[in-house]
Amino acid sequence: MKSKDIQKLVLSKYENGDGPTKIFRDLNGTLSLPTIERWCKSIRDTGCINLSKPPGRPRTIRTNANIQKVKHRLERRRTVSSRKLSRELGISRTSVRRVLKNDLGLHAYKVQNEPMLTDEHKEKRIQFANWIRTNFRKEDTMKILFSDEKMFDIDGVYNSQNDRIWAVNRSEADIKGGTRQKRKFPQKVMVWLGVCSKGVSPLIFFEKGTVDHDRYIKEVLPVALKFGNDMFGNDWIFQQDGAKPHTHAKSQEWCTKNFPSFIDKSHWPPNSPDLNPLDYCIWNEFA
């Protein structure tokens, strides 16, 4: 596409209400985002695109050729670091980052984990969503007490990449806490927690042994019942996932007899930790 045709297209899109970011995406990298923003400013100020020479010295690194090289690398490989791009293209890492952010309008996002869902899992999720929409009002969903168990390493967790100690040398760093002792067989503890729109329940620690349905009924469910009643009176819903202690016939019977309402094992979809705020949000804060 010729330069004048691109100008006409940008002018038309801007006059039709499209912003610089949308125009940039529609043009698929034909122009850099700063260029489109400059053109849109020119349209606002003068009614046309003024292609006078831009201020400052000419580019020597972030040229159109290098921008296209970076773009083509990304098209071939979805995941690549700026460090690797810098090494492959012979461009400084800072320049690569500027090309990615300023010229191509891109941002770096971490790859996120999500549950692997089969077609059967997806179908049960749809059924669950329809059941919720049919049987619960919006205000009812604010009265759900979500619950979950999680195993924690007592020694804690740390990120060797991001947890840094600033010091003049290694010896000083060690004095400031730059070493971490790790057990060969780290001690672990399982905890239970409930969370709702009004707060979090007391933590329950299971320091020894496994949690079967008997321990679950004796040690967890009464705590959940008291907390739910304290928060909502006798109008609320208890949630638990498909773990065996939860779906055991005696656990289901206890829930039916004691909770005002609860999501039984026939409704909660399997392999759905991302539907529980404890799994997708709160446990990370505890770790």
pLDDT score at 143 = 97
Chain position carrying tokens 């007490």: 145
Q: Is the pLDDT confidence value at 177 over 90?
A: no
Question: 264: which 2 tokens?
Answer: 């039984």
Judge contact between 105 and 33, C-beta under 8 A. yes
pLDDT score at 259 = 98
Which domains can be identified in the chain, with CATH numbers? Answer: 3-103 (no CATH), 119-161+186-286 (3.30.420.10)
Kindly state the DSSP code that residue 57 receives in the 8-state scheme. S
Q: Is the pLDDT confidence value at 130 over 90?
A: yes
pLDDT score at 53 = 56
Give the residue among 52, 55, 34, 41 at the shortest CA–CA distance from 11.
41
SS3 63: coil
- Greater confidence (280 vs 176) lies with 280
Packing angle of the helix pair 221-232, 249-258 (nearest 10 deg)? 20
Question: For the residues 18-22, what does the mean pLDDT come to?
Answer: 90
pLDDT score at 51 = 67
Judge contact between 190 and 149, C-beta under 8 A. yes
Determine the Cα–Cα distance for residues 286 and 276; give it in Å rounded to an integer.
15
Question: For the residues 136-146, what does the mean pLDDT come to?
Answer: 95
Q: Is the pLDDT confidence value at 217 over 90?
A: yes
Judge contact between 158 and 180, C-beta under 8 A. yes
Q: What is the pTM of this model?
A: 0.59
Chain position carrying tokens 């304290």: 230
Helix ranges (H only) for the chain are 3-15, 20-26, 33-46, 64-76, 82-89, 93-98, 119-135, 138-141, 170-175, 213-215, 221-232, 244-247, 249-258, 277, 283-286
Amino acid at site 5 = D
Calculate the average pLDDT of the chain.
85
Q: Is the pLDDT confidence value at 262 over 80?
A: yes
What's the pLDDT band for 8 if we cut at 50, 70, 90? Answer: confident
pLDDT score at 148 = 95
Determine the Cα–Cα distance for residues 166 and 245; give it in Å rounded to an integer.
47
Question: 280: which 2 tokens?
Answer: 């997708």
